[in-house]
């Protein structure tokens, strides 16, 4: 698929991708997982895997970022059929917003009912520490304010309604389940719950922007997740979102600190086991 194509896709196109996958695997996943930066290890936990490199899947977009391998992994996690996106598509890579969310509608057509999204995010809330895991309770869609919403354009009722509700985007029951799982596994002391704000990126935020986002009520900021969640909610999937706080954003002009991608990847590596275990425990309880 052309990265910059501005055309939205038809039901038949999504269907062709879904049918091809259903023809090529016996797995019938009810849970889909989108792995964030450095969190692709979740896919390795699956048993009896069937792996499809994105480039082999008809009409599927392909991934360009280092550290974001591109494959769709089907398999079982504690007996639960899952499909895992190892490598996601970011708006900042130059993809059209419909391309970013293409896999979510494919998941819906595969029969998926629950979407779990993970990402790496910068902490805005002063009480957050690097390495905390934040359950997303709500989001602020900055690209949406600027007209970049994947639901713009013709609405196909086979996916969902024209004006979908977003006040319940992040499923309360799943969040409670996540809190219970975190407690059991002893990682509740670094579990937070807050508001995720999406910016388009790829540049990190300025100090003035960080201060603005804090004022607006955002607890963490990142460059993904929101488009996928909008499309998932539109077609009725339940959503659980988890942000790994990989750095604290700079809000002080006297601070010499600078945001950098290497720090993000390092922290991700440290906490990745805990996050993977948490997601896997949550899935066990679905
Ligand atoms: C899936 O398999 C069916 C039955 O074999 C076939 O008719 C159909 O064309 C296949 N679809 C795709 C997209 O591969
Ligand atoms: C994995 O596949 C093997 C052989 O096909 C089968 O015996 C086993 O039960 C499968 N395991 C799971 C967890 O489905
Ligand atoms: C920051 O996080 C804490 C702990 O989760 C929370 O109580 C608080 O409301 C959040 N927001 C602000 C602005 O401190």
Residue 5 pLDDT more than 60? Answer: no
Name the residue of 23, 25, 52, 59 whose CB sits within 8 Å of the most ligand 1 atoms, as the mutation to test its pocket. 23
Pick the closest to residue 230 from 123, 120, 115, 121 (CA basis).
Answer: 115
Q: Which atom of ligand 3 is nearest to the CA of 128?
A: 2
Q: Give the span between the Cα atoms of 221 and 139, in whole angstroms.
A: 10
Calculate the CA 29 to chain-centre distance: 17
Structure tokens at 202: 């790829």
Q: What's the pLDDT band for 66 if we cut at 50, 70, 90?
A: low
pTM of full prediction above 0.85: yes
**pLDDT tens per residue, range 183-215:** 998 888 889 999 999 999 888 889 999 999 999
Structure tokens at 73: 């992994």
CATH of domain 11-285: 3.40.50.1580
Residue 45: the pLDDT is 86
Residue 261: the pLDDT is 67
Residue 174: the pLDDT is 96
Residue 2: the pLDDT is 44
Of the candidate ranges 83-97, 180-194, 224-238, 256-270, the one whose mean pLDDT is the lowest: 256-270
22 CA from centroid of ligand 1 (Å): 9
In the annotation, is 247 catalytic? yes
**pLDDT tens per residue, range 124-156:** 999 998 889 999 999 999 999 998 999 998 899
Structure tokens at 134: 């934040």
Is residue 88 annotated as involved in ligand binding? yes
Residue 162: the pLDDT is 93
Q: Which residue's C-alpha comes closest to atom 12 of ligand 1?
A: 20
Ligand of minimum distance to the alpha carbon of 245: 3
Q: What's the pLDDT band for 80 if we cut at 50, 70, 90?
A: very high
In the annotation, is 93 catalytic? yes
Q: Which residues have any ligand 1 atom within 6 Å of their CB? A: 16, 19-20, 23
Residue 252 pLDDT more than 60? Answer: yes
Which secondary-structure segment (H or E) carries 119? strand 114-123
Task: Compute the mean pLDDT over every residue in the chain, rounded to the nearest whole number.
Answer: 89
Which secondary-structure segment (H or E) carries 32? strand 31-34
Does ligand 2 have an atom closer than 6 angstroms to the CB of 47?
yes
Residue 170 pLDDT more than 80? Answer: yes
């Amino acid at each position: 698929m052309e990265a910059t194509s501005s055309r939205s896709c038809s039901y038949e196109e999504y269907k062709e991708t879904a049918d091809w996958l259903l023809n090529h695997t016996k797995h019938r996943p009810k849970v889909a997982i989108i792995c964030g930066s450095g969190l692709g290890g979740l896919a390795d936990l699956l048993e009896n895997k069937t792996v499809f490199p994105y480039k082999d899947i008809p009409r599927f977009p392909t991934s360009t970022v280092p550290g974001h391998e591109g494959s769709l992994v089907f398999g079982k996690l504690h007996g639960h059929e899952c499909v895992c996106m190892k490598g996601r598509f970011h708006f900042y890579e130059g993809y059209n917003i419909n391309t970013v969310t293409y896999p979510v509608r494919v998941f819906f057509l595969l029969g998926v009912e629950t979407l779990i999204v993970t990402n790496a995010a910068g902490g805005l809330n002063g009480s957050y520490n690097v390495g905390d895991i934040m359950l997303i309770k709500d989001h602020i869609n900055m690209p949406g304010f600027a007209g970049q919403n994947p639901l713009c354009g013709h609405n196909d009722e086979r996916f969902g309604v024209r004006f979908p509700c977003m006040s319940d985007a992040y499923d309360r029951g799943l969040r409670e389940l996540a809190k219970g799982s975190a407690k059991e596994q002893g990682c509740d002391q670094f579990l937070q719950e807050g508001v995720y704000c999406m910016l388009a990126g790829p540049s990190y935020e300025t100090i003035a922007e960080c201060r603005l986002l804090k004022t607006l009520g955002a607890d963490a900021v990142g460059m993904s997740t929101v488009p996928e969640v909008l499309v998932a909610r539109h077609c009725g999937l339940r959503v659980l979102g988890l942000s790994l706080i990989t750095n604290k954003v700079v809000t002080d002009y006297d601070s010499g600190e600078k945001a950098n991608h290497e720090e993000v990847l390092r922290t991700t590596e440290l906490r990745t086991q805990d996050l993977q275990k948490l997601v896997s425990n949550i899935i066990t309880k679905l």
